[in-house]
Structure 1
Amino acid sequence: MRFAIKTRPEHTTWQQLRDVWIAADDFEIFESAWHWDHFYPLSGDMAGPNLEAWTTLAALAQATQRIRVGCQVTGMIYRHPAVLANMAATTDIISNGRLELGVGAGWNEMETAAYGIELYPLKERFDRFDEGVQAMIALLTEKVANFDGKYIKLTDAYCEPKAVQTPHPPITIGGKGPKRTLRAVAKWAQHWNVIVPSPEEWKPLKDVLVKHCEDIGRDVNEITCSVNVRIDADQPLDAAVASAAAYGEAGVDLVVMNLPLDAAPSVVEPLAKALAPLA
Protein backbone atom coordinates (compact mmCIF):
# COMPACT_ATOMS: atom_id res chain seq x y z
CA MET A 1 0.00 0.00 0.00
CA ARG A 2 0.97 3.61 -0.54
CA PHE A 3 0.18 6.58 1.66
CA ALA A 4 -0.19 10.35 1.57
CA ILE A 5 -1.33 13.07 3.94
CA LYS A 6 -3.87 15.81 3.49
CA THR A 7 -4.15 18.99 5.53
CA ARG A 8 -7.05 21.42 5.75
CA PRO A 9 -6.02 25.03 5.11
CA GLU A 10 -8.98 26.30 7.12
CA HIS A 11 -8.77 27.83 10.60
CA THR A 12 -4.98 27.51 10.65
CA THR A 13 -1.88 29.57 10.03
CA TRP A 14 0.61 29.41 7.20
CA GLN A 15 3.35 28.52 9.65
CA GLN A 16 1.47 25.52 11.05
CA LEU A 17 0.50 24.25 7.61
CA ARG A 18 4.07 24.59 6.35
CA ASP A 19 5.57 22.85 9.37
CA VAL A 20 3.29 19.83 9.02
CA TRP A 21 4.29 19.39 5.37
CA ILE A 22 7.96 19.76 6.22
CA ALA A 23 7.54 17.08 8.90
CA ALA A 24 5.85 14.72 6.41
CA ASP A 25 8.67 15.32 3.95
CA ASP A 26 11.00 13.46 6.34
CA PHE A 27 9.02 10.19 6.20
CA GLU A 28 9.26 8.27 2.94
CA ILE A 29 6.07 6.35 3.69
CA PHE A 30 4.19 9.51 2.68
CA GLU A 31 4.62 9.85 -1.06
CA SER A 32 2.52 12.98 -1.42
CA ALA A 33 0.85 15.78 0.51
CA TRP A 34 -2.43 17.47 -0.43
CA HIS A 35 -4.74 20.26 0.59
CA TRP A 36 -7.97 21.61 -0.89
CA ASP A 37 -9.07 24.38 -3.24
CA HIS A 38 -11.68 26.44 -1.41
CA PHE A 39 -11.93 30.07 -0.42
CA TYR A 40 -14.17 29.56 2.61
CA PRO A 41 -13.74 27.08 5.47
CA LEU A 42 -15.89 23.98 5.13
CA SER A 43 -16.34 23.57 8.90
CA GLY A 44 -16.83 25.85 11.86
CA ASP A 45 -17.07 29.58 11.26
CA MET A 46 -17.57 30.17 7.52
CA ALA A 47 -16.16 33.66 8.01
CA GLY A 48 -12.94 32.21 9.43
CA PRO A 49 -9.57 32.02 7.70
CA ASN A 50 -8.87 29.69 4.79
CA LEU A 51 -5.58 29.87 2.91
CA GLU A 52 -5.73 30.00 -0.88
CA ALA A 53 -4.72 26.75 -2.57
CA TRP A 54 -2.25 27.49 -5.34
CA THR A 55 -0.21 30.25 -3.75
CA THR A 56 0.31 28.05 -0.69
CA LEU A 57 1.01 25.02 -2.90
CA ALA A 58 3.86 26.82 -4.66
CA ALA A 59 5.27 27.93 -1.32
CA LEU A 60 4.94 24.41 0.12
CA ALA A 61 6.74 23.05 -2.92
CA GLN A 62 9.62 25.39 -2.14
CA ALA A 63 9.58 24.46 1.55
CA THR A 64 9.84 20.69 0.89
CA GLN A 65 12.39 18.56 -0.91
CA ARG A 66 11.01 15.09 -1.66
CA ILE A 67 7.27 14.75 -1.14
CA ARG A 68 4.95 15.22 -4.09
CA VAL A 69 2.49 18.11 -3.76
CA GLY A 70 -1.07 18.52 -4.93
CA CYS A 71 -4.46 20.12 -4.52
CA GLN A 72 -7.38 17.79 -4.01
CA VAL A 73 -8.88 19.05 -6.19
CA THR A 74 -8.82 22.33 -8.07
CA GLY A 75 -12.28 23.51 -9.12
CA MET A 76 -12.14 24.16 -12.86
CA ILE A 77 -14.78 26.89 -12.52
CA TYR A 78 -12.45 29.04 -10.40
CA ARG A 79 -9.67 29.59 -12.95
CA HIS A 80 -9.57 29.58 -16.73
CA PRO A 81 -7.87 26.35 -17.88
CA ALA A 82 -5.16 28.30 -19.69
CA VAL A 83 -4.36 30.21 -16.50
CA LEU A 84 -4.37 26.97 -14.50
CA ALA A 85 -2.03 25.28 -16.99
CA ASN A 86 0.48 28.10 -16.58
CA MET A 87 0.16 27.92 -12.79
CA ALA A 88 0.71 24.16 -12.91
CA ALA A 89 3.79 24.42 -15.12
CA THR A 90 5.33 27.04 -12.84
CA THR A 91 4.56 25.08 -9.68
CA ASP A 92 6.06 21.95 -11.22
CA ILE A 93 9.23 23.91 -11.94
CA ILE A 94 9.34 25.29 -8.39
CA SER A 95 8.95 21.76 -7.01
CA ASN A 96 11.48 20.28 -9.45
CA GLY A 97 8.90 17.94 -10.92
CA ARG A 98 6.80 17.00 -7.87
CA LEU A 99 3.39 18.40 -8.80
CA GLU A 100 0.23 16.31 -8.89
CA LEU A 101 -2.30 18.28 -10.95
CA GLY A 102 -5.63 17.68 -9.23
CA VAL A 103 -8.79 18.93 -10.98
CA GLY A 104 -12.53 18.61 -10.66
CA ALA A 105 -15.62 20.24 -12.13
CA GLY A 106 -16.39 22.30 -9.01
CA TRP A 107 -19.45 22.26 -6.78
CA ASN A 108 -19.42 24.83 -3.98
CA GLU A 109 -22.51 26.98 -4.44
CA MET A 110 -21.79 29.10 -1.36
CA GLU A 111 -18.43 30.28 -2.68
CA THR A 112 -19.55 30.86 -6.23
CA ALA A 113 -22.60 32.85 -5.10
CA ALA A 114 -20.49 34.98 -2.75
CA TYR A 115 -17.85 35.77 -5.39
CA GLY A 116 -20.14 36.10 -8.39
CA ILE A 117 -18.54 33.08 -10.09
CA GLU A 118 -21.06 31.30 -12.25
CA LEU A 119 -21.82 27.73 -11.18
CA TYR A 120 -23.06 26.38 -14.47
CA PRO A 121 -25.78 23.73 -14.69
CA LEU A 122 -24.36 20.27 -14.13
CA LYS A 123 -24.15 19.14 -17.76
CA GLU A 124 -22.55 22.37 -18.92
CA ARG A 125 -20.18 22.30 -15.96
CA PHE A 126 -18.91 18.87 -17.00
CA ASP A 127 -18.79 19.84 -20.67
CA ARG A 128 -16.59 22.77 -19.67
CA PHE A 129 -14.52 20.49 -17.46
CA ASP A 130 -13.87 18.04 -20.29
CA GLU A 131 -12.80 20.86 -22.59
CA GLY A 132 -10.70 22.43 -19.86
CA VAL A 133 -8.70 19.24 -19.22
CA GLN A 134 -8.02 18.83 -22.93
CA ALA A 135 -6.98 22.47 -23.27
CA MET A 136 -4.58 22.17 -20.32
CA ILE A 137 -3.00 19.04 -21.76
CA ALA A 138 -2.52 20.82 -25.08
CA LEU A 139 -0.85 23.79 -23.41
CA LEU A 140 1.38 21.61 -21.25
CA THR A 141 2.51 19.33 -24.09
CA GLU A 142 2.51 21.35 -27.29
CA LYS A 143 4.82 24.20 -28.27
CA VAL A 144 1.89 26.09 -29.78
CA ALA A 145 -1.57 24.99 -28.64
CA ASN A 146 -4.82 25.32 -30.53
CA PHE A 147 -8.17 24.14 -29.25
CA ASP A 148 -11.60 24.88 -30.67
CA GLY A 149 -14.19 23.83 -28.13
CA LYS A 150 -17.67 25.12 -27.52
CA TYR A 151 -16.55 26.92 -24.36
CA ILE A 152 -12.74 26.91 -24.40
CA LYS A 153 -10.73 28.24 -27.34
CA LEU A 154 -6.96 28.46 -27.74
CA THR A 155 -5.42 30.21 -30.72
CA ASP A 156 -1.66 29.83 -31.21
CA ALA A 157 -1.37 29.76 -27.43
CA TYR A 158 1.88 29.34 -25.49
CA CYS A 159 2.58 27.95 -22.05
CA GLU A 160 6.27 28.55 -21.42
CA PRO A 161 8.36 27.40 -19.75
CA LYS A 162 7.02 23.89 -19.77
CA ALA A 163 6.69 21.75 -16.65
CA VAL A 164 9.58 19.54 -15.59
CA GLN A 165 7.51 16.36 -15.82
CA THR A 166 6.77 14.98 -19.26
CA PRO A 167 4.50 14.76 -21.07
CA HIS A 168 2.87 16.78 -18.26
CA PRO A 169 2.37 16.60 -14.48
CA PRO A 170 0.16 13.62 -13.59
CA ILE A 171 -3.50 14.58 -13.64
CA THR A 172 -5.66 13.62 -10.69
CA ILE A 173 -9.41 13.78 -11.25
CA GLY A 174 -11.56 13.71 -8.14
CA GLY A 175 -15.17 12.55 -7.87
CA LYS A 176 -17.49 9.58 -8.16
CA GLY A 177 -20.00 10.41 -10.90
CA PRO A 178 -20.25 7.18 -12.90
CA LYS A 179 -21.11 8.72 -16.26
CA ARG A 180 -19.06 11.89 -16.60
CA THR A 181 -16.37 11.91 -13.88
CA LEU A 182 -15.23 8.31 -14.21
CA ARG A 183 -15.32 8.53 -17.98
CA ALA A 184 -13.06 11.60 -17.78
CA VAL A 185 -10.73 9.66 -15.47
CA ALA A 186 -10.48 6.86 -18.02
CA LYS A 187 -9.71 9.30 -20.83
CA TRP A 188 -7.23 11.68 -19.27
CA ALA A 189 -6.22 10.97 -15.68
CA GLN A 190 -3.23 9.21 -14.19
CA HIS A 191 -4.85 9.24 -10.75
CA TRP A 192 -8.45 8.95 -9.54
CA ASN A 193 -9.40 10.15 -6.05
CA VAL A 194 -12.76 9.59 -4.41
CA ILE A 195 -14.20 10.06 -0.95
CA VAL A 196 -16.52 7.22 0.04
CA PRO A 197 -17.63 5.93 3.45
CA SER A 198 -16.50 2.32 3.01
CA PRO A 199 -14.64 -0.14 0.76
CA GLU A 200 -18.00 -1.69 -0.10
CA GLU A 201 -19.07 1.56 -1.75
CA TRP A 202 -15.71 1.98 -3.48
CA LYS A 203 -15.68 -1.37 -5.29
CA PRO A 204 -18.69 -0.70 -7.60
CA LEU A 205 -17.17 2.63 -8.61
CA LYS A 206 -13.88 0.91 -9.47
CA ASP A 207 -15.87 -1.54 -11.61
CA VAL A 208 -17.39 1.38 -13.50
CA LEU A 209 -13.92 2.82 -14.10
CA VAL A 210 -12.70 -0.55 -15.37
CA LYS A 211 -15.60 -0.64 -17.86
CA HIS A 212 -14.87 2.90 -19.11
CA CYS A 213 -11.22 1.96 -19.60
CA GLU A 214 -12.19 -1.18 -21.51
CA ASP A 215 -14.46 0.88 -23.75
CA ILE A 216 -11.61 3.15 -24.83
CA GLY A 217 -8.90 0.49 -24.84
CA ARG A 218 -6.97 1.73 -21.83
CA ASP A 219 -5.34 -0.36 -19.10
CA VAL A 220 -6.99 0.64 -15.81
CA ASN A 221 -3.77 -0.29 -14.01
CA GLU A 222 -2.23 2.86 -15.49
CA ILE A 223 -4.44 4.84 -13.10
CA THR A 224 -3.63 5.19 -9.40
CA CYS A 225 -6.82 4.75 -7.38
CA SER A 226 -6.91 6.61 -4.07
CA VAL A 227 -9.36 7.26 -1.25
CA ASN A 228 -9.33 9.53 1.78
CA VAL A 229 -9.38 8.31 5.36
CA ARG A 230 -10.10 10.89 8.02
CA ILE A 231 -8.22 10.90 11.29
CA ASP A 232 -10.44 12.14 14.10
CA ALA A 233 -8.61 13.91 16.88
CA ASP A 234 -10.88 12.40 19.53
CA GLN A 235 -10.46 8.80 18.37
CA PRO A 236 -7.52 6.38 18.61
CA LEU A 237 -5.16 6.41 15.64
CA ASP A 238 -5.72 2.67 15.33
CA ALA A 239 -9.23 3.27 13.95
CA ALA A 240 -7.93 5.25 10.97
CA VAL A 241 -5.15 2.74 10.35
CA ALA A 242 -7.66 -0.12 10.36
CA SER A 243 -9.81 1.76 7.87
CA ALA A 244 -6.79 2.29 5.61
CA ALA A 245 -6.00 -1.43 5.79
CA ALA A 246 -9.55 -2.31 4.75
CA TYR A 247 -9.31 -0.10 1.68
CA GLY A 248 -5.99 -1.70 0.80
CA GLU A 249 -7.55 -5.14 0.97
CA ALA A 250 -10.30 -3.91 -1.36
CA GLY A 251 -7.71 -2.94 -3.98
CA VAL A 252 -7.12 0.75 -3.34
CA ASP A 253 -3.60 1.79 -4.36
CA LEU A 254 -3.11 4.94 -2.29
CA VAL A 255 -4.74 6.02 0.96
CA VAL A 256 -4.69 9.73 1.74
CA MET A 257 -4.71 10.23 5.50
CA ASN A 258 -6.67 13.38 6.30
CA LEU A 259 -5.05 14.97 9.34
CA PRO A 260 -7.13 16.61 12.09
CA LEU A 261 -7.82 20.30 11.77
CA ASP A 262 -5.45 21.30 14.55
CA ALA A 263 -2.72 18.87 13.51
CA ALA A 264 0.76 19.80 14.66
CA PRO A 265 3.97 18.46 13.13
CA SER A 266 4.24 16.05 16.05
CA VAL A 267 1.33 13.97 14.70
CA VAL A 268 3.28 12.91 11.62
CA GLU A 269 5.81 10.52 13.18
CA PRO A 270 3.27 8.43 15.16
CA LEU A 271 1.15 8.15 12.02
CA ALA A 272 4.13 7.03 9.93
CA LYS A 273 4.99 4.36 12.48
CA ALA A 274 1.41 3.13 12.73
CA LEU A 275 1.12 2.78 8.93
CA ALA A 276 4.53 1.17 8.42
CA PRO A 277 3.28 -2.45 8.76
CA LEU A 278 0.82 -1.84 5.91
CA ALA A 279 3.31 -0.34 3.47
Structure 2
Amino acid sequence: MRFGIKTRPEHTTWPEMRDVWVAADDIELFESAWNWDHFYPLSGDLAGPNYEGWSMLAALAQATRRIRLGCQVSGMIYRHPAVLANMAATIDVIAEGRLDVGIGAGWNQQECDAYGIELPPLRERFDLFDEGVQVIVGLLSQETTDFDGKYFKLTDARCEPKGVQRPHPPIVIGGRGPRRTLRAVALWAQQWNAIVQSPADWKALKQTLLVRCDEVGRNPAEIVCSVNVVVDPETGIGPAAEKVAEYKEAGVDLIVLNLPHRAKPGILEPLAEALAPLA
Protein backbone atom coordinates (compact mmCIF):
# COMPACT_ATOMS: atom_id res chain seq x y z
CA MET A 1 0.00 0.00 0.00
CA ARG A 2 1.14 3.53 -0.81
CA PHE A 3 0.45 6.79 1.04
CA GLY A 4 -0.08 10.48 0.41
CA ILE A 5 -1.20 13.48 2.44
CA LYS A 6 -3.77 16.20 1.79
CA THR A 7 -3.86 19.70 3.29
CA ARG A 8 -6.77 22.13 2.93
CA PRO A 9 -5.78 25.62 1.75
CA GLU A 10 -8.63 27.26 3.71
CA HIS A 11 -8.29 29.42 6.83
CA THR A 12 -4.53 28.93 6.87
CA THR A 13 -1.32 30.63 5.76
CA TRP A 14 1.11 29.93 2.97
CA PRO A 15 4.03 29.18 5.36
CA GLU A 16 1.90 26.63 7.24
CA MET A 17 0.97 24.81 4.03
CA ARG A 18 4.50 24.96 2.66
CA ASP A 19 6.16 23.72 5.83
CA VAL A 20 3.98 20.59 6.02
CA TRP A 21 4.68 19.71 2.39
CA VAL A 22 8.41 20.29 2.79
CA ALA A 23 8.43 18.03 5.85
CA ALA A 24 6.46 15.31 3.99
CA ASP A 25 8.97 15.56 1.16
CA ASP A 26 11.62 14.29 3.59
CA ILE A 27 9.60 11.24 4.70
CA GLU A 28 9.91 8.47 2.13
CA LEU A 29 6.66 6.76 3.12
CA PHE A 30 4.63 9.63 1.69
CA GLU A 31 4.69 9.48 -2.10
CA SER A 32 2.27 12.33 -2.87
CA ALA A 33 0.75 15.51 -1.45
CA TRP A 34 -2.53 17.14 -2.47
CA ASN A 35 -4.49 20.33 -2.02
CA TRP A 36 -7.93 21.17 -3.42
CA ASP A 37 -9.38 23.33 -6.18
CA HIS A 38 -11.84 25.72 -4.53
CA PHE A 39 -12.09 29.49 -4.23
CA TYR A 40 -14.18 29.64 -1.07
CA PRO A 41 -13.63 27.71 2.18
CA LEU A 42 -15.76 24.61 2.60
CA SER A 43 -15.96 24.83 6.39
CA GLY A 44 -16.10 27.49 9.08
CA ASP A 45 -16.52 31.07 7.90
CA LEU A 46 -17.33 30.76 4.20
CA ALA A 47 -16.26 34.38 3.76
CA GLY A 48 -12.80 33.51 5.04
CA PRO A 49 -9.55 32.99 3.12
CA ASN A 50 -8.83 30.12 0.75
CA TYR A 51 -5.80 29.89 -1.53
CA GLU A 52 -6.10 29.06 -5.23
CA GLY A 53 -4.89 25.51 -5.74
CA TRP A 54 -3.03 25.47 -9.04
CA SER A 55 -0.87 28.56 -8.49
CA MET A 56 -0.04 27.12 -5.07
CA LEU A 57 1.04 23.85 -6.75
CA ALA A 58 3.61 25.74 -8.82
CA ALA A 59 5.16 27.18 -5.67
CA LEU A 60 5.02 23.84 -3.84
CA ALA A 61 6.69 22.15 -6.80
CA GLN A 62 9.61 24.54 -6.39
CA ALA A 63 9.70 24.09 -2.60
CA THR A 64 9.90 20.26 -2.78
CA ARG A 65 12.22 17.83 -4.57
CA ARG A 66 10.74 14.29 -4.42
CA ILE A 67 7.07 14.06 -3.50
CA ARG A 68 4.42 13.95 -6.22
CA LEU A 69 1.81 16.69 -6.13
CA GLY A 70 -1.64 17.51 -7.40
CA CYS A 71 -5.07 19.07 -6.88
CA GLN A 72 -7.68 16.67 -5.59
CA VAL A 73 -9.51 17.42 -7.79
CA SER A 74 -9.80 20.34 -10.20
CA GLY A 75 -13.30 21.29 -11.37
CA MET A 76 -13.53 21.16 -15.16
CA ILE A 77 -16.12 23.96 -15.09
CA TYR A 78 -13.66 26.47 -13.65
CA ARG A 79 -11.18 26.74 -16.51
CA HIS A 80 -11.13 26.06 -20.22
CA PRO A 81 -9.36 22.68 -20.53
CA ALA A 82 -6.81 24.11 -22.96
CA VAL A 83 -5.83 26.67 -20.32
CA LEU A 84 -5.66 23.94 -17.66
CA ALA A 85 -3.50 21.76 -19.93
CA ASN A 86 -0.98 24.59 -20.36
CA MET A 87 -0.95 25.18 -16.59
CA ALA A 88 -0.37 21.47 -15.98
CA ALA A 89 2.45 21.26 -18.51
CA THR A 90 4.24 24.23 -16.94
CA ILE A 91 3.89 22.86 -13.40
CA ASP A 92 5.14 19.43 -14.50
CA VAL A 93 8.26 21.15 -15.87
CA ILE A 94 8.75 23.07 -12.62
CA ALA A 95 8.24 19.84 -10.64
CA GLU A 96 10.61 17.91 -12.93
CA GLY A 97 7.94 15.31 -13.70
CA ARG A 98 6.08 15.00 -10.38
CA LEU A 99 2.60 16.32 -11.26
CA ASP A 100 -0.62 14.32 -11.17
CA VAL A 101 -3.48 16.04 -13.01
CA GLY A 102 -6.52 15.68 -10.76
CA ILE A 103 -9.83 16.52 -12.45
CA GLY A 104 -13.53 16.13 -11.81
CA ALA A 105 -16.79 17.46 -13.22
CA GLY A 106 -17.25 20.15 -10.54
CA TRP A 107 -20.14 20.71 -8.15
CA ASN A 108 -19.89 23.86 -6.01
CA GLN A 109 -22.97 25.98 -6.69
CA GLN A 110 -21.90 28.80 -4.35
CA GLU A 111 -18.62 29.43 -6.15
CA CYS A 112 -20.27 29.26 -9.56
CA ASP A 113 -23.01 31.71 -8.55
CA ALA A 114 -20.48 34.12 -7.02
CA TYR A 115 -18.22 34.17 -10.08
CA GLY A 116 -20.84 33.89 -12.80
CA ILE A 117 -19.60 30.45 -13.84
CA GLU A 118 -22.28 28.26 -15.36
CA LEU A 119 -22.90 25.01 -13.51
CA PRO A 120 -24.77 22.88 -16.05
CA PRO A 121 -27.23 20.15 -15.09
CA LEU A 122 -25.50 16.90 -14.17
CA ARG A 123 -25.79 15.16 -17.55
CA GLU A 124 -24.49 18.17 -19.46
CA ARG A 125 -21.74 18.65 -16.88
CA PHE A 126 -20.43 15.15 -17.56
CA ASP A 127 -20.71 15.64 -21.32
CA LEU A 128 -18.56 18.75 -20.89
CA PHE A 129 -16.19 16.85 -18.60
CA ASP A 130 -15.70 14.03 -21.12
CA GLU A 131 -14.79 16.54 -23.81
CA GLY A 132 -12.49 18.43 -21.48
CA VAL A 133 -10.50 15.33 -20.51
CA GLN A 134 -9.90 14.54 -24.17
CA VAL A 135 -8.74 18.10 -24.81
CA ILE A 136 -6.30 17.96 -21.89
CA VAL A 137 -4.88 14.56 -22.85
CA GLY A 138 -4.51 15.64 -26.47
CA LEU A 139 -2.70 18.88 -25.67
CA LEU A 140 -0.39 17.24 -23.14
CA SER A 141 0.59 14.36 -25.43
CA GLN A 142 0.30 15.46 -29.09
CA GLU A 143 2.24 18.01 -31.13
CA THR A 144 -1.03 19.55 -32.30
CA THR A 145 -4.62 18.84 -31.30
CA ASP A 146 -7.84 19.21 -33.26
CA PHE A 147 -11.12 18.72 -31.44
CA ASP A 148 -14.65 19.41 -32.61
CA GLY A 149 -17.03 18.95 -29.69
CA LYS A 150 -20.22 20.54 -28.49
CA TYR A 151 -18.46 22.48 -25.71
CA PHE A 152 -14.87 22.80 -26.91
CA LYS A 153 -13.33 23.31 -30.35
CA LEU A 154 -9.59 23.27 -31.00
CA THR A 155 -7.86 23.82 -34.34
CA ASP A 156 -4.20 22.92 -34.76
CA ALA A 157 -3.78 23.72 -31.07
CA ARG A 158 -0.38 23.50 -29.38
CA CYS A 159 0.77 23.21 -25.78
CA GLU A 160 4.49 23.90 -25.53
CA PRO A 161 6.63 23.13 -23.74
CA LYS A 162 5.20 19.76 -22.88
CA GLY A 163 5.50 18.39 -19.37
CA VAL A 164 8.35 16.08 -18.45
CA GLN A 165 6.21 12.92 -18.12
CA ARG A 166 5.33 10.88 -21.20
CA PRO A 167 2.96 10.38 -22.81
CA HIS A 168 1.52 12.93 -20.35
CA PRO A 169 1.30 13.49 -16.57
CA PRO A 170 -1.02 10.92 -15.01
CA ILE A 171 -4.72 11.78 -15.13
CA VAL A 172 -6.49 11.37 -11.78
CA ILE A 173 -10.29 11.36 -11.97
CA GLY A 174 -12.19 11.84 -8.74
CA GLY A 175 -15.75 10.76 -7.97
CA ARG A 176 -18.07 7.79 -7.56
CA GLY A 177 -20.72 7.92 -10.28
CA PRO A 178 -21.13 4.34 -11.54
CA ARG A 179 -22.08 5.24 -15.11
CA ARG A 180 -20.35 8.45 -16.18
CA THR A 181 -17.46 8.87 -13.72
CA LEU A 182 -16.29 5.26 -13.79
CA ARG A 183 -16.63 5.11 -17.57
CA ALA A 184 -14.38 8.19 -17.80
CA VAL A 185 -11.92 6.52 -15.42
CA ALA A 186 -11.86 3.40 -17.59
CA LEU A 187 -11.29 5.45 -20.73
CA TRP A 188 -8.70 8.01 -19.66
CA ALA A 189 -7.46 7.82 -16.05
CA GLN A 190 -4.25 6.48 -14.60
CA GLN A 191 -5.69 6.92 -11.10
CA TRP A 192 -9.22 6.86 -9.68
CA ASN A 193 -9.76 8.78 -6.45
CA ALA A 194 -12.93 7.21 -5.10
CA ILE A 195 -15.32 9.15 -2.88
CA VAL A 196 -16.54 6.38 -0.57
CA GLN A 197 -17.90 5.89 2.93
CA SER A 198 -16.46 2.47 3.80
CA PRO A 199 -14.37 -0.41 2.44
CA ALA A 200 -17.60 -2.23 1.51
CA ASP A 201 -18.74 0.84 -0.45
CA TRP A 202 -15.38 0.92 -2.24
CA LYS A 203 -15.46 -2.78 -3.12
CA ALA A 204 -18.89 -2.42 -4.73
CA LEU A 205 -17.73 0.53 -6.83
CA LYS A 206 -14.52 -1.29 -7.78
CA GLN A 207 -16.63 -4.11 -9.24
CA THR A 208 -18.44 -1.53 -11.34
CA LEU A 209 -15.12 -0.12 -12.52
CA LEU A 210 -14.10 -3.61 -13.65
CA VAL A 211 -17.27 -3.77 -15.73
CA ARG A 212 -16.58 -0.35 -17.28
CA CYS A 213 -13.01 -1.38 -18.08
CA ASP A 214 -14.26 -4.52 -19.77
CA GLU A 215 -16.72 -2.47 -21.83
CA VAL A 216 -13.98 -0.21 -23.22
CA GLY A 217 -11.22 -2.84 -23.43
CA ARG A 218 -9.04 -1.36 -20.67
CA ASN A 219 -6.81 -3.37 -18.35
CA PRO A 220 -7.95 -2.33 -14.83
CA ALA A 221 -4.48 -3.08 -13.48
CA GLU A 222 -3.34 0.11 -15.25
CA ILE A 223 -5.47 2.23 -12.90
CA VAL A 224 -4.28 3.09 -9.39
CA CYS A 225 -7.22 3.10 -6.96
CA SER A 226 -7.05 5.65 -4.15
CA VAL A 227 -9.30 6.72 -1.30
CA ASN A 228 -8.99 9.37 1.41
CA VAL A 229 -8.91 8.71 5.15
CA VAL A 230 -9.42 11.55 7.62
CA VAL A 231 -7.00 11.98 10.52
CA ASP A 232 -9.42 13.33 13.12
CA PRO A 233 -7.73 15.78 15.53
CA GLU A 234 -10.05 14.57 18.30
CA THR A 235 -9.35 10.83 18.01
CA GLY A 236 -5.81 11.00 16.66
CA ILE A 237 -3.71 8.75 14.46
CA GLY A 238 -4.76 5.33 15.82
CA PRO A 239 -8.32 5.19 14.43
CA ALA A 240 -7.08 6.51 11.08
CA ALA A 241 -4.48 3.73 10.89
CA GLU A 242 -7.18 1.17 11.68
CA LYS A 243 -9.30 2.49 8.82
CA VAL A 244 -6.30 2.37 6.50
CA ALA A 245 -5.80 -1.31 7.39
CA GLU A 246 -9.41 -2.02 6.44
CA TYR A 247 -8.97 -0.37 3.05
CA LYS A 248 -5.74 -2.29 2.50
CA GLU A 249 -7.58 -5.54 3.10
CA ALA A 250 -10.25 -4.40 0.63
CA GLY A 251 -7.59 -3.94 -2.06
CA VAL A 252 -7.07 -0.17 -2.26
CA ASP A 253 -3.69 0.83 -3.75
CA LEU A 254 -3.16 4.34 -2.37
CA ILE A 255 -4.44 6.04 0.78
CA VAL A 256 -4.42 9.83 1.00
CA LEU A 257 -4.44 11.00 4.62
CA ASN A 258 -6.53 14.14 5.09
CA LEU A 259 -4.48 15.90 7.76
CA PRO A 260 -6.14 17.89 10.54
CA HIS A 261 -6.70 21.50 9.57
CA ARG A 262 -3.60 23.64 10.08
CA ALA A 263 -1.63 20.55 11.08
CA LYS A 264 2.00 21.12 12.04
CA PRO A 265 4.90 19.22 10.45
CA GLY A 266 5.38 17.33 13.70
CA ILE A 267 2.33 15.15 13.01
CA LEU A 268 4.04 13.49 10.05
CA GLU A 269 6.70 11.34 11.74
CA PRO A 270 4.31 9.59 14.17
CA LEU A 271 1.80 9.20 11.35
CA ALA A 272 4.44 7.55 9.16
CA GLU A 273 5.47 5.26 12.01
CA ALA A 274 1.85 4.13 12.50
CA LEU A 275 1.40 3.47 8.77
CA ALA A 276 4.76 1.83 8.04
CA PRO A 277 3.63 -1.73 8.94
CA LEU A 278 0.87 -1.36 6.31
CA ALA A 279 3.15 -0.16 3.51
Deviation at 1:144, TM superposition (A): 1.2
Deviation at 1:236, TM superposition (A): 2.6
RMSD, aligned α-carbons? 0.6
One-letter identity of the residue aligned with 2:198: S
> Once the two structures are superposed, what CA deviation does each residue of 1:32-74 show, in whole Å capped at 9, x if it has no partner?
0001000011000001110100000110010000000000000
SS in 2 for 1:161: coil
What are structure 2's unaligned runs of at least 5 residues?
A: none
SS in 2 for 1:261: coil
CA distance, structure 2, for counterparts of residue 109 and residue 122 of structure 1: 12
Q: What's 1:237 paired with?
A: 237
SS in 2 for 1:99: coil
CA distance, structure 1, for counterparts of residue 195 and residue 135 of structure 2: 27
Q: What's 2:143 paired with?
A: 143
SS in 2 for 1:102: strand
Q: What's 1:198 paired with?
A: 198
CA distance, structure 2, for counterparts of residue 269 and residue 13 of structure 1: 22
1:38 aligned onto 2:38: yes
1:224 aligned onto 2:224: yes
Runs of 4+ in 1 over 6 A off after TM superposition: none
CA distance, structure 1, for counterparts of residue 11 and residue 194 of structure 2: 24
Q: What's 2:174 paired with?
A: 174
SS in 2 for 1:156: strand
> Once the two structures are superposed, what CA deviation does each residue of 1:118-168 show, in whole Å capped at 9, x if it has no partner?
001111110010000001111111111111111111011110000100000
Spell out the pairing of 1:197-276 with structure 2 (5 A cutoff).
197-276=197-276
Q: What's 2:62 paired with?
A: 62
One-letter identity of the residue aligned with 1:180: R
> Once the two structures are superposed, what CA deviation does each residue of 1:217-262 show, in whole Å capped at 9, x if it has no partner?
1110100000000011111311000001100100000000000002
SS in 2 for 1:182: helix
Spell out the pairing of 1:18-37 with structure 2 (5 A cutoff).
18-37=18-37
CA distance, structure 2, for counterparts of residue 154 and residue 195 of structure 1: 32
One-letter identity of the residue aligned with 2:101: L
CA distance, structure 2, for counterparts of residue 149 and residue 247 of structure 1: 39
Spell out the pairing of 1:91-130 with structure 2 (5 A cutoff).
91-130=91-130
SS in 1 for 2:100: strand
Deviation at 1:195, TM superposition (A): 2.2
Report the identity percentage.
68
Deviation at 1:194, TM superposition (A): 1.4
SS in 2 for 1:32: strand
Q: What's 2:80 paired with?
A: 80
1:186 aligned onto 2:186: yes
TM-score by length of 2: 0.99
One-letter identity of the residue aligned with 1:44: G
